[in-house]
Structure 1
Amino acid sequence: MVAADRQAGTGGYGSLNGTMQAFLSEVQKDLAQGMLSPRVLNDPDIHRAELDRIFTKCWVFVGHVSEIPSPGDYVLRYVGEDQFILARDEQGEIQLLLNNCVHRASPVCRAEKGNTSHFRCPYHGWIYKNSGEWNGAPHRAKAYRTIDTARWGLRKAPHVDSYQGLIFACLDPDAVPLREYLGDMCWYLDVIFGLNEQGMRAAGDPHRWIVPANWKSGAENFVGDAYHVQSAHSSLGDIGLIPDNSKSVTETFHIALEGGHGLIAIPKALPEPFGVGNYPPEVTSTFDLDRLDDDQRAFLESGYGVVGFTIFPNLSLFQAPGSTEVGGFPAVNTSLRQWQPRGPEQFELWNWPMVWNSAPPEFNQASYDAAVFSFGPSGVFEQDDTVVWRGGPMVGRSAFARQDMKLNFQMGLDGMSDYEPRPDWMGPGEASTSAFGERNQRRWWQRWSEALASS
C-alpha cells in the first residue's frame, strides 16, 4: 500500500481507502472460486481495519457468568486489543468498563480479578464505582465543585448480554440484540450448555499464552476444519489417544449458519452405558431434556454432538471424550477458546475448561484433566495446531507470495469431494454429509470481508 493510501488509511471509523476496498472486492470474488489471498493473514492495515470494523461492531465474548458470581466481582478482559473491566456491580448488573481513567487515561484496575466496590486511578486519585459512575477525587470540594458527575464516569460498553451463561458485549450503540446476532447458534448452545438448570461453570481462571500466528487461523480452524486431524494430529493416532483419526473427517460433518457462525458435529462416539452427549450415567441422570424442544431432543437422542464451533468473530469451542492416558476413562471435556488479536503476527489464546455444576467432583476432575491434556499451553492437540498456524504470518508478509499466490479453499465446491446436503436434518442451518468440504471456512471469511467493507 502506497504512502498516500496509508495516510488516508483505515484508522478510526472513516471510509476505507480505495486500495483496501478493491482488495476486499477481490477477496469476495476469490472466495466464490474457493481461493483467498495470503495477505489476510499478515497486514497492518487489515489488522487496524479489523479492530475498527469487527471488534467495535460485533458481539464479542468477554466471559462466563460463573467468573463474576457476586456483587463486586470483576475480571479483566479484552475486546480486540482494548482492555476492559468485566464487573458485577452492587445491584448485580453486569458491566463492561474501559479500563482507562477519563482524566489522564491511566488504567484504574491493575489486578486480573478481585472484588471491590470502587476503582481508584493511581495517577490523580479519581474514583469510580464498580458500575462505572464517577464517585469522587482528592479535594473534591476545592478542585471539582461543579463537575458533571454523570458525564465523567468510565466509558461503558453500550450493550452487555448473556446466553446460556456466556457473556457477550458489543461496542456499537446501534447493534442488534445478542439473540438476533447469535441467530440459530442459540439452538446449538442449548444442546451444549442448557441440559439442566444448574448449567456449567468455568473451572478456574482461563489459561492464556501467546501464539505466533494470526488470530483468524484459530477462528477458521474451529468453524469447520476437521480435515486436518488426520495429518496434523496423526501422532496422537499412532499412540492410541485417538482410536481412529480418519473418522475425524469421514464421520464428522458441518453445520453452516448465517452470520459467519459454524459448527463441526459428530455422531455418538462411546457405547452404552454412556448416554446423551457421551456422558456417563452419573452425569446424564442430572440432565432434564424436557427443557429442550422436540428437535433438540431428537438431536441428542440420535447421538449427535457438537465437537467444535466458532461464533463470529473469535469465540470457539471444543467438546469431545478424552483421557490423559491410552485406555483411560473417556471423560467428555468442554473448553471455550478465544483468539485475542495482538497485532497481525500474533494472538493471545484464552482457554476456559468448563464443568457441570451438577456432575460428581470425580467426573469434573477427569473432565478438567482431559481438557488441559488436550487443549492448553501444553496440550497435545494444542502444540500441533499452533505450530502449523505459524505459516500464516510468514506467507502473509512474503513479497513474493503476495504478488499472485492464492490459498486453496475449494474442497466441497462443484462436486470436487464427497460433500452433499444432509437430508432431513432436524436442526437449523445447512448440514453436510461429511467434513470433506470448506464451506464453513469460506462463509466465515465471507462474513469477515463483509464486516470490513461495511460502513
Structure 2
Amino acid sequence: MEIKDLIIDDRQRGVFRVHRSSMTSPDLFQREQEQIFNRCWIYLGHESEVENPGDYRRRTVVGRPLFFARGRDGHVRVFLNSCPHRGALICRRDAGNADVLQCFYHAWSFNTHGDLIGVPDQDAYGPHFDRGELGLKEPPRVESYRGFYFVCFNPYVEDLVTYLAGARDYLDLIVDQSEAGMRMVAGSNKYTMKANWKLLVENSLDGYHLVPTHQTYLDYISGLGTDDSGQTAASRIVGTAKALGNGHCVIESPVRNGRPIAHWHPLFGEEAREPITQTRQRLVEKYGEERTFRMADTSRNLIIYPNLVINDIMAITVRYFEPLAPDHMEVTAWHLVPREESETMLATRLDSFLTFLGPGGFATPDDVEALESCQIGFRATETEWSDISRGMLNPAKSTDELQMRGFWRQWHANMQGLSKTNVQDGPVRETEAALAIGNDD
C-alpha cells in the first residue's frame, strides 16, 4: 500500500480511518525515524533538572545518547554522549554533578562547556593535534521554551516557538500556575510497552475510554466525596478538543476530581483546603478570574508532536516515549510541581499523581493492558482499518476524536515528505492544500 493511501479522510461523509499497517510495518517504522523523528523538535528535559553548575542528566533521544549540563557560566548545553576519541560514553550515570567529565576508556576529559581539557600523554600526538577540534559535539539545534528543552537533528528546522504553534498557550497555562517557577521532582517512572508509540498518543488524548476503562478509579474517587459512581459516557461532563497546529493537540475538561494547584477535593484532606484556596486567590489577583478558571478549574491532556504528552489533570505529568520497534516503546514520566509548594502540599500532589498516573496506579496498568491488547489484535490482518471518525461532523468534545485526527493528519503529511497540513475537520480549502504541497522540505 502506498503511503498516501494509509489514511481515509472523507470530510464530507465524516469518515476517518487509519490502516493498521501504520502500527505494524517495519518499513513504515523506519520511515517515521527519517521523516518525523529526525526532522521535528523532540523533548529532552527541563531546566530544573540541572539546577546547579556542574549538574548533568543523561537521556536517549531518537536512539541517540545525549546529556545536558549546566556550565559554570549558568548556561545549559546539550551534548552527544560519545567521546570524540573512540566513541565511548562520557556520561555513564543518569545524573550527577561534576566539574570534569572523563571518558573511562582512555581518560580524555571535558568540562561542562564541552571543551577537551585533558589528554593523557598528549606529547605522543603530533604537532597538529588540536584540542579545539575534539570537543564534545552538540545536536544541530537546541532551543527551550519556558524551561522545556528540545533538540532537533535537522539544522534547517523552524524555530521552536514557531513549531509549538498553539501548544504555547497550554504550556503557558501550566508554567504560570507557579509564582516561583516550576520544577521537576527528582526521580522518574520508566517502563516499556509492547505496543506502537502512536497508540499511546491516541490513548493520552482519548476522553472516550475514561468511563469504561477506568471505572475502578471513578468508584474510588466517589468514595472520597464526589459521586462519580455509576457514571456513564452519556452523563459525564465533557470538555472540548482542539488541534493546535503542527500535530499538537489537546483535550480540556472541567475538573471533577480536584487539582492541587487551586481546586480542592476531599482526596487531598481537609488540611489542604485553605492553602489551595489561598493559591487560587493569588492567581485571580494576578491573572483574573477567566484565566484562573482555565488554570485551576479545567484539566488538559496535551500532546506536543510527535512524542511528548503533558497531563495537567489531578497532577502534572510529563511523559516522553521513545519508539524502539513497531510494537515496542519505552516510556519515561516525570512529575512537575510549583517550586513554592509546601512539603505537605507536595506530598498531597505526589500521592494524587501516583494514585492515578503512577506505574502501579489506577490508570497506567489499565492503559498498558489496553494498548498491548490492541497491538495483539492487529495480528488479525484481515481487519485492516481502525476507525477514528467520532464527532467528525459535530462540534468537537473531549470524548470525540478530532484531536487524534489532528495528530494523524500531521503524521500522514510528514510521512509523505510534507511539513504542513490542515489538521482541522471540515473541507480542505485551496490555500491550505497549496500550503501543504508547498512545504515539502
Q: TM-score range by the shorter chain?
A: 0.7 to 0.9
Aligned to 1:375: 357
In 2, Cα distance between the equivalents of 1:272 and 1:239? 16
Aligned to 2:306: 313
Alignment map for 1:169-184 (pairs within 5 Å): 169-184=151-166
Q: CA deviation at 1:43?
A: 2.2
Is 1:262 the counterpart of 2:249 in the alignment?
yes
Aligned to 1:114: 96
Change (3 A) 1:67 1:368: same
Alignment map for 1:52-451 (pairs within 5 Å): 52-222=34-204, 224-240=205-221, 243-244=227-228, 245-246=231-232, 250-269=237-256, 275=262, 280-283=273-276, 285-286=278-279, 287-288=282-283, 292=287, 298-301=290-293, 304-321=297-314, 333-396=315-378, 398=379, 401=381, 405-414=384-393, 419-420=394-395, 432=396, 434-451=397-414
Deviations 1:163-182 (A, max 9, x none): 22222222221121111111
In 2, Cα distance between the equivalents of 1:37 and 1:382? 26
In 2, Cα distance between the equivalents of 1:274 and 1:149? 50
Q: CA deviation at 1:123?
A: 2.1
RMSD of the TM alignment (CA)? 2.7
Q: Which runs of 5+ in 2 are unaligned?
A: 266-271, 418-440
AA at the equivalent of 1:190: D
Contact 2:217 2:356 in 1 (8 A): no
Aligned to 1:427: none
Q: CA deviation at 1:36?
A: 0.5
Change (3 A) 1:177 1:289: farther
In 2, Cα distance between the equivalents of 1:55 and 1:312? 10
Q: Which runs of 5+ in 1 are unaligned?
A: 1-21, 322-332, 421-431
AA at the equivalent of 2:389: Q
Change (3 A) 1:274 1:96: closer
Is 1:43 the counterpart of 2:30 in the alignment?
no
In 1, Cα distance between the equivalents of 2:290 and 2:152? 34
How many pairs does the alignment contain? 400
Report which stretch shifted further, 127-136 or 280-289. Answer: 280-289
Contact 1:203 1:353 in 2 (8 A): yes
Secondary structure of the 1:135 match is strand
Q: CA deviation at 1:270?
A: 6.4
Deviations 1:119-178 (A, max 9, x none): 222222222222223333221122254223333222212322222222222222112111
AA at the equivalent of 2:243: A
Structure 2 length-normalised TM: 0.83
Structure 1 length-normalised TM: 0.80
Change (3 A) 1:270 1:381: closer
Change (3 A) 1:133 1:382: same
In 1, Cα distance between the equivalents of 2:258 and 2:103? 57
Change (3 A) 1:174 1:63: same
Q: CA deviation at 1:404?
A: 6.1
Change (3 A) 1:90 1:145: farther
In 2, Cα distance between the equivalents of 1:70 and 1:23? 51
In 2, Cα distance between the equivalents of 1:377 and 1:271? 21
AA at the equivalent of 1:407: S
Change (3 A) 1:233 1:270: closer
In 2, Cα distance between the equivalents of 1:259 and 1:136? 44
Aligned to 2:416: 453
Deviations 1:418-443 (A, max 9, x none): x31xxxxxxxxxxx3x2242111011
Deviations 1:359-416 (A, max 9, x none): 22111101101101211221210010010101343344x3x51x661011111123xx
Report which stretch shifted further, 23-32 or 43-52. Answer: 23-32
In 2, Cα distance between the equivalents of 1:87 and 1:447? 33
In 2, Cα distance between the equivalents of 1:205 and 1:271? 24
Q: CA deviation at 1:114?
A: 0.2
In 2, Cα distance between the equivalents of 1:446 and 1:249? 28
Percent identity, aligned pairs only, is 25
Report which stretch shifted further, 254-263 or 138-147. Answer: 138-147
Deviations 1:252-302 (A, max 9, x none): 22122111111111124369999569895424534445665x7xx524336
In 2, Cα distance between the equivalents of 1:230 and 1:69? 40
Secondary structure of the 2:58 match is strand
In 1, Cα distance between the equivalents of 2:207 and 2:156? 36
